[in-house]
Structure 1
Amino acid sequence: MQESFRSRSFLAVVLIAASLPACGGSDDSPSVATSSTPATESPSATPPQASAQVACSPNGSFTYSGSASQVAASNGTLAVVVVPSLPVAYQKNRNFTAPAAPASSQVQQASGAFTTLASSAAATDCLGLEHGAVSDIQGVGSDVAIGRWNAAMDTDGNTYNLAHGVHYAVGTPLALTATSGTLACTQVIADTVASTDGSASGTLGTASAALDLGTRTLNNLSMSINLANTNYTLTNTQAPLNGTSATGQLSIQSVVVGHDATQPLVALGYSATLPKAQTIGGVVVLSCK
């Protein structure tokens, strides 16, 4: 079964909050696909943080699935994208898009998982994992790492099940130097597609786009998603780099990361309302050449 839509062809739809008690999942919540790396449990080992971030760095207990290298900072900063796949009432505007956030305000564990995320040094701009799982941990060298909090509780007090998620991508900020030309971008890593109502999870099969160096935009983005054995194609004609774009049913958040301006990576967060009014989200990293 194939369903598709273009982001400019639909009217905005009110996101539907699930009938989940206090954003928590039941014992029969569906399982999610994670990395083949066995999950391990470890107490938090947080490095010293700025005083503004202490409330977002609890001494919790976490489990990890997957692994990633430590992400390299640039001039003391990291690029951060955070997309919550939670009922609207519990998201609390935690969609972070920060091309240059303080590296000292983030916490990355030895596994490569990030358990504290922040868009600035302000206490109001951080979110921490109180306890729970970090799944889908993946990375591209020291350039970027992604993951998803699930079956967890965060420092906003939200609890969520296996099919929920707070998706993140954290990378080395990269300034583009060329002012003309186009690069072809293809997917290299992506996390599990999570649903806002916590009823199902899915996969991002392919994602592609063109990076216009003149306009500094990501053009003709196309993503193929399978959710509950149904295929969907999400498209966006043009979205700014290092910013956000919300058109129709699809919202895009992006930051440019990596170490080579001639072959940049784009860390992309997305959320979309599908034709049957189910809202989903995730993160993907594109390699542009």
Structure 2
Amino acid sequence: MRNNRLLVVLMGVTVLLAACGGSNGSGLNAATAGAASAASSPVAASAPSGASTPQASTQTACRPDGNFTYSGSASQVVANNGQLAVVVVPSLPVANSKNRNMTAPNAPASSQVQQTGGAFTTLASSAAATDCLGLAHGAVSEIQSVGSDVAIGRWNQAMDTDGNTYASQQGVHYAVGTPLSLSATSGTLACTQLIADAVATNDGSAGGTLGTASATLDLGTRTLNNLNLSINLANTQYALTNSQSPLNGVSTTGQLSVQSVVVGHDATQPLVAVGYSATLPNGQGIGGVVVLQCR
């Protein structure tokens, strides 16, 4: 009788363990797996009111793992409150450029990709998926910088994420810098050329050089006045001028379009990154970027 009672007790314990999943640990494993799954699943964090949430994941298409080559070097550009100022000028046939001219005084730093050697291979004017352009594969040439304030370069002999391919004399020019707010509200500063890339052509014919560039920064009107660009192309000199263009904006006068962003770390001696594109009297389309030092 005693043995029968013991057998009944043991059977009852076994049934309880099976019901709880404890007989082989499967219940514990399932709970652990569920917790691990919950921990590994992305959880949307609630952002403070008015805060911007990085959307770099929406721009994956502009961040290909391509094969790149580089010419020159630049420092890593320092962001200001998570923002970078961006100018992009394509030197491509109009049908292919897809209005990729970008002028963004405050674009998310998380939407740009700068390589270790200083070249930018992804450029964006905002966090929107439609506002970015990446270098799928190819070369970044003429990489230069002014300290950590601004870096320039040009994609050439390359293919971008729009599907455009371009030769060595074409390309996409860029300038990316630390956004800078001007404090003074009156007076003028004289601006002269610090660095520039080569002058590229839309049709891939022989490019040229930017000899000199100068302008006046009007602190009262917040404009870049009397911009003068001296271009040497195919042993011919061209003088391009723009009487007035807004800082951190775009201006088109005649056949010359000017894009600018104010960058740097010293509001008393700001830098202005200028992108320009023009149609010369002979019908040739050109473009490039230049950084001006204003004092």
Q: Structure 1-normalised TM-score?
A: 0.83
Give the corresponding residue for 1:196: 202
Distance in 2 (CA, whole Å) between partners of 1:272 and 1:251 is: 6
Which amino acid in 2 is paired with 1:285? V
Give the corresponding residue for 1:278: 284
Give the corresponding residue for 2:61: 55
Distance in 1 (CA, whole Å) between partners of 2:197 and 2:116 is: 19
Q: Structure 2-normalised TM-score?
A: 0.81
Distance in 2 (CA, whole Å) between partners of 1:200 and 1:236 is: 25
What does 1:217-232 correspond to in 2, within 5 Å?
Answer: 217-232=223-238
Give the corresponding residue for 2:175: 169
Distance in 1 (CA, whole Å) between partners of 2:180 and 2:225 is: 19
Distance in 1 (CA, whole Å) between partners of 2:104 and 2:231 is: 26
Query: Partner of 2:133: helix, strand, or coil?
Result: strand
Instruction: Report which of the two has the higher share of strand.
Output: 1
Query: Partner of 1:280: helix, strand, or coil?
Result: strand
Asked if 1:263 corresponds to 2:269, the answer is yes
Number of matched pairs: 242
Which of these residues, 84, 105, 110, is aligned with residue 116 of structure 2? 110
Distance in 1 (CA, whole Å) between partners of 2:198 and 2:138 is: 17
Cα deviation, residue 201, structure 1: 0.6
Larger radius of gyration: 2
Which amino acid in 2 is paired with 1:133? A
Cα deviations by residue, 1:159-186 (Å, 9 ceiling, x for unpaired): 0000001000000000000000000000
Which amino acid in 2 is paired with 1:136? E
Q: Is the 8 A contact 2:92 2:202 kept in 1?
A: yes
Query: Partner of 1:55: helix, strand, or coil?
Result: helix
Cα deviation, residue 67, structure 1: 0.4
Give the corresponding residue for 2:241: 235
What does 1:15-34 correspond to in 2, within 5 Å?
Answer: none
Cα deviations by residue, 1:213-256 (Å, 9 ceiling, x for unpaired): 00000001101010111110000100100000011010000000
Which 5+ residue runs of structure 1 have no aligned equivalent? 1-47
Instruction: Report which of the two has the higher share of helix.
Output: 2
Q: What value does the CA root-mean-square deviation take over the aligned residues?
A: 0.9
Distance in 2 (CA, whole Å) between partners of 1:282 and 1:72 is: 23
Cα deviation, residue 200, structure 1: 1.4
Which amino acid in 1 is paired with 2:64? P
Cα deviation, residue 53, structure 1: 1.4
Give the corresponding residue for 1:40: none
Distance in 1 (CA, whole Å) between partners of 2:226 and 2:159 is: 36
Give the corresponding residue for 1:5: none
Which of these residues, 156, 165, 185, is aligned with residue 179 of structure 1? 185
